[in-house]
Amino acid sequence: MKQGKYELGRMLGEGSFGKVKFARRVDTGEAFAVKILDRKRILDLKIDEQLKREIATLKLLKHPNVVRLHEVFASKERIYMVLEYVNGGELYDKIASKGRLSEQFGRNIFQQLIDGISYCHDKGVYHRDLKPENVLVDAMGKIKISDFGLSALSQQLWNDGLLHTTCGSPNYVAPEVLSNRGYDGAISDIWSCGVILYVILTGALPFDDRNLAVLYQKIFKGDTHIPSWLCPGAQNMLRRILDPNPRTRINVAEIKEDNWFKQNYTPVIPYDEEDMYMDDASLSVEELVETDELRNKSTLINAFQLIGMSSCFDLSGFFEKEDVSERKIRFTSNYSPNDVFKKIEDIVTEFGFQVQRGNGKLKVIQPTRGCTSTRSCGSLSVAAEVFELSPSLYVVELRKACGDSSLYRQLCSKISDKLSVYKGAQLLKMRSLLPELNQFEGSKSISTVKTI
């Protein structure tokens, strides 16, 4: 079945609010996992805010050990979240099939888990439902933390600096979460990581009982048996994490300094924050989102938005002007978005740059000598986006993510020389595009825009 630019295939999983299907992008052949949610069910259960929070959270997170959200779109009845496809399935299935994992492999999984969750905490995101079912493992043994439906952001902290919503899976939830007196989201996530480590190394749960009241009592007391056949380093790590007192429980920094943890440990580097393969448009669950191809589509803006893009309200100084931070340059062009991107590609490839393209944006990267990765070693990274003023006039915006400012300015100068229109003509054109402003302000002339 085709949905937008994706062909949907076999079922990967099913949950309370929808299902996850394997998908392949038609134009590139790339594999994805698409989470399909029933719009009516979400609104009926009044969990639309939870969904929006999950989407906003995933848009924040760009780390190799966190599942990536690539795009969100909707039909009248369904909401589609296009996620990174992980071909190895859940960590739970690996443990269930083998009973327990080797210490070396288990430690590597745990190291990646700590890397991913500490990155989330640095971003002010607390998962609150960590368990093997929510940790995906690919064929190479790389993990991806998934399912942020119960996550919390730092903005949700109460005045006491704590979270107060009781949530999570019973066997993995921290004792302080159950106490209803508030808890530190980062420290409670560490407890859940400790339970996962226990399950990885032993193949059993540290706290388990059919009676929930009895189970919670065991969790409150930290009542568990740590097998003596585990190596002393692993035993010590489990004891320090599964400490029922959150004040004395080991934290992320201390975990990373532990000798057992540091064996064969290589920290993971987060992705480039300016990664272009994410649709930055916010999603309102109540409104329809078109599923048209966005690859070469420009963003239509009106006069008020155009004025708001400028650091001051003087339109005469708006174009061909770099902002104070030297990170953003704009100019107008008569070329269509597709032609703009094509000409930029032609220009930058002559300079030895590489190009990534998607979702109406283009990213230019200059890799360092001898480096083949376009994610982590670029010496200059520039993003380009096109905004439509009218069917024949566009604003091209160039943004520097990182790198040498002088080289960036040279590149921008070359691009703007090739693409921009005559400045005097563009200002006349701009004045013709402001009827909304004149109507709103009555008899005010264009010159009064400076003092609004």
Among the listed residues 93, 122, 129, 209, the single catalytic one is 129
DSSP state of 222: T
The C-alpha torsion from 28 through 34 and 36 to 37, rounded to 10°, is -120
Q: Where would I find the beta strands (DSSP E) of 50-161?
A: 69-74, 78-84, 125-126, 135-137, 143-145, 152-153
Chain centroid to Cα 183, Å, comes to 25
DSSP label at 299? E
Q: Could you give the angle at which helices 185-202 and 103-122 cross, rounded to 10 degrees?
A: 170
What tokens appear for 249 in the block?
């429980």
For every residue of 54-83, DSSP letters joined together read: HHHHHHH---TTBPPEEEEEE-SSEEEEEE
Residue of 247, 148, 144, 131 lying closest to 193 (CA atoms):
131
Q: Is 189 a catalytic residue?
A: no
Contact criterion met (CB below 8 Å) for 340 and 333: yes
The answer to whether the Cα torsion of 333, 336, 341, 342 is positive or negative is: negative
d(CA 42, CA 33): 20
Residue closest to 8 by CA, chosen among 28, 35, 27: 35
Is 35 annotated in some ligand binding site? yes
Annotated binding site for ATP: 35
Active site residues per annotation: 129
Binding residues: 35
